[in-house]
Chain A
Amino acid sequence: MAKRIEASNVSSYYGSFKAIDNVSMTVEPKTITALIGPSGCGKSTFLRSINRMHEVLPNARIEGRLTIDDQNIYDPDVDITAVRRMIGMVFQRPNPFPTMSIYENAVAGLKLNGVKKKSLLDDAAEKSLRSANLWDEVKDRLDRPGAGLSGGQQQRLCIARTIAVEPQVVLMDEPCSALDPISTLAIEDLMFKLKDRFTIIIVTHNMQQAARVSDKTGFFSIDKTGEPGRLIEYADTQKIFSNPSQKKTEDYITGRFG
């Protein structure tokens, strides 16, 4: 239920603009990998390159090679929707479908993939909401609007929606940056729990969060605006935060970033 992601010499472009340059990293199954770095350093672009969501923007492309268990994600013959089903994504701002109930949100991905049987959907809704630590809070009001929940609950609903289709990898793009500390803690607890089933890659601005939740950490940086972002250092989280091998990493995590 979890697969390895391997990036070798990946560069992402938007048209002629090079957003990230030559990133290589291997993400092992059932681990949490945090990507940190200053704004605009390309960590979100890299994350969105993994499930090809960056292609939502016109003229986006990559060079290099991205594989999931040795299958090339960018193979011209690969169905892009299959990639995204396999590699789910949770976004910065909670984005449940406003016209759908909690239940409908939880099973939206399954319905998109043609699951129609009520009993299957019911089971999947309960399972994914339980996995997202949300079931007890919403089980009595599954038919209420998903957008009526609190921000933290909405984000957990979005996680439930993502994991309901049983992806191999879950990408999270600053999933807590719009949430209060308690909701953030709830999401972090959830990540630990989900680690048993999924490979998780999370982009975060919050270094404490990266230190708390992740097994490995990648530090991205840019030299100056307009330059592509680079992966400066990628190592065990403990090493990054206690004994980084790069001066730039040390400057960033100690707050001396200039």
Chain B
Amino acid sequence: MGDYPSRSVNSTAGHLGVTPRHAQGAGSGVSPSAYEEPPIGGGGALPKKSRFSLETGFRGLSTAAGAMVLVIIVAIAVFLISKAIPAIQADSENFLTYNRWSPNEATPAFGIAVLALGTVLTSLIALVVAVPIALGIALFLTHYAPRRLATPLGFVIDLLAAVPSVVFGLWGRDLFQQPVRDFSVWLNHYFGWLPIFGGEGPFGQSLMLGGLVLAIMVLPIVTSLSREVFQQTPGMNEEAALALGATKWEMIRTAVLPYGKPGVIAAVMLGLGRALGETIALALTLGITWEISFNLIQTGGNSIAANIANSFNEANDTGRGALIASGLVLFAITLIVNMTARAIIYRRREFRDSAA
């Protein structure tokens, strides 16, 4: 009942909504039809094409939006490079290999090696742990779970993505550290002969802890993107596999995983992007040392982003430049990773294109 007023408003709007172009098209209003207004199809002469319209306006807007991406990325690159170069020039040690960070001294000496290594190692741990679990969850949600369960579970996983990273960091430092320490001791006891699990301790605030916290943060991204991808597998291909006598897992291996592979790689890359750039969670969980070490379980480790967060406050001009230079390295790492992923995706593009 309450609809009536709004309906009449709408009908008025519709009446007035006949665009000037159509009105123009009716010529002098001589219409062959019985309508008072000319029909939408036009009654009189062909109307002129309007020079400016919503159409051109929208095209301009979307072109501008597209161009903005390029502008932003170039602006960032220019900013990073222009700030980084003077600092690197002032560096008294090799920027790539030196393993200390003292850019604020009279003779600045700093190197990216420890930071880059820590960034890469924590991200690798995160991916190695998170990707199999994420794919398992995604497959469970799309192909095994009953719909009643899949929808809320998917929602919970998306919720995980909404938890701020500082919360993960605090949780990792205060609660998760103890189980990881116990696990590290166990690893050290049985696998101590492997250099990555060796050492005398102390264990705890290690690359392992940082990497595992990152894994939890990466999990929801990889899961929800993979789920989307797996859902898009054509049903007829799944049926084809089943009709050949495939079990469910064989069907997934034959039809779902190959079809979803490029999408899964893209999902992993987005996850890796998050892991590489993660700042505060690592600043809270890593032990912050300056040794170049592949040991995953001893207290220590550092990362580019965490170091920026930790050192920015007390940095002088050269110090800031040095930090920005480290940011540039992070930028480069991300770029390389992304381009590699693109290359993998495009290699078999022919197969995907013909599939459409």
Do A and B come together as binding partners? yes
What CA separation (Å) do A181 and B355 show in the bound complex? 23
> Is the CB–CB distance between B237 and A53 below 8 Å?
no
Q: Is B258 an interface residue (CB 8 A)?
A: yes
A91 to B234, CA, bound (A): 13
From B55-63, B165-173, B243-251, B297-305, the one touching the partner chain is B243-251
**Number of A-B pairs whose CB atoms are under 8 Å?**
83
Q: Which of A5-13, A80-88, A208-216 contacts B (4 or more CB under 8 A)?
A: A80-88
Those of A209-244 within 8 Å (CB) of chain B: none
Segment among B25-33, B204-212, B346-354 that sits at the interface with chain A: B346-354
Residues in chain A near residue B261, CB distance under 8 A? 99
CA distance A98 to B352 in the complex (A): 7
Which residues of chain A (63-113) have a CB below 8 Å from chain B?
Answer: 81-85, 88-89, 91, 93, 95-101, 108-109, 112-113
- Smallest CB separation, A251 vs chain B (Å): 33
Q: Does A56 contact B (CB under 8 A)?
A: yes
Q: Of residues 161 to 182 in A, which have CB atoms within 8 Å of B's CB atoms?
A: 161-162, 165
Enumerate chain B residues within 8 angstroms of A108, measured Cβ to Cβ.
Answer: 241, 244, 254
Which residues in A have their C-beta under 8 angstroms from that of B355? 98-99, 145, 147
Closest residue on chain B to residue A101 by CB atoms: B351
Which residues on B sit within 8 Å (CB–CB) of A113?
245
Pairwise interchain contact B258-A99, C-beta atoms closer than 8 A: yes
Interface size in chain B (residues, C-beta < 8 A): 24
Check: A158 CB closer than 8 A to any chain B CB. Answer: yes
Q: Are A97 and B240 in contact (CB under 8 A)?
A: yes
Is B218 at the interface (CB under 8 A from chain A)?
A: no
Nearest neighbor of A98 in chain B, beta-carbon distance? B355
Determine if A93 and B236 form an interchain contact, defined as CB atoms under 8 angstroms apart: yes
Residues from chain B with a CB closer than 8 A to the CB of A51 are 243
| Closest-CB distance, A188 to chain B (whole angstroms) | 21
A15 within 8 A of B: no
Of the residues B234, B237, B242, B243, contact of A162 by C-beta under 8 Å:
B243
B239 interface residue (CB < 8 Å to A): yes
Q: Is the CB of B245 within 8 A of A81?
A: yes
How far, in whole Å, are A158 and B243 apart by their CA atoms in the complex?
11
Residue pair B244, A109 in contact (C-beta under 8 Å): yes
- How far, in whole Å, are A145 and B255 apart by their CA atoms in the complex? 14
Cβ-defined partner of A109 (8 Å) among B239, B245, B255, B258: B245
- Tell me how far the C-beta of A97 lies from the nearest C-beta in chain B, rounded to whole angstroms: 6
Name the interface residues of B42-69: CB closer than 8 Å to any CB of A.
Answer: none
Which residues of chain B are near A95, meaning CB under 8 Å?
234, 236-237, 239-240
- Are the C-beta atoms of B354 and A53 separated by less than 8 Å? no
Which residues in A have their C-beta under 8 angstroms from that of B247?
81
Pairwise interchain contact B250-A112, C-beta atoms closer than 8 A: yes
Output the least CB separation between B80 and chain A (Å): 39
In the complex, B230 has a CB within 8 A of chain A: no
Checking A84, A100, A101 against B243 with a beta-carbon cut-off of 8 angstroms, the contacting residue is A84
In the complex, the answer to whether A84 meets B244 with C-beta atoms within 8 Å is yes
Question: Once the chains bind, are B259 and A88 in contact (CB under 8 Å)?
Answer: no
**Chain B interface residues (CB < 8 Å from chain A):** 234, 236-237, 239-247, 250, 254-255, 258-259, 261, 348, 350-352, 354-355
Listed A/B pairs (23) with beta-carbon separation below 8 Å: A56-B239, A56-B242, A81-B246, A82-B245, A88-B243, A88-B244, A91-B239, A93-B236, A97-B237, A97-B240, A97-B258, A97-B259, A98-B259, A99-B259, A99-B261, A99-B351, A99-B352, A99-B355, A101-B351, A109-B245, A145-B351, A147-B351, A148-B350
Known: A89-B243, A97-B240, A98-B354; 9 extra A-B contacts, CB below 8 A, are A53-B239, A84-B245, A88-B243, A97-B258, A98-B259, A100-B351, A101-B351, A112-B250, A145-B350
The 4 A-B pairs at the shortest CB distance, nearest first, are namely A98-B355, A85-B245, A99-B258, A109-B244
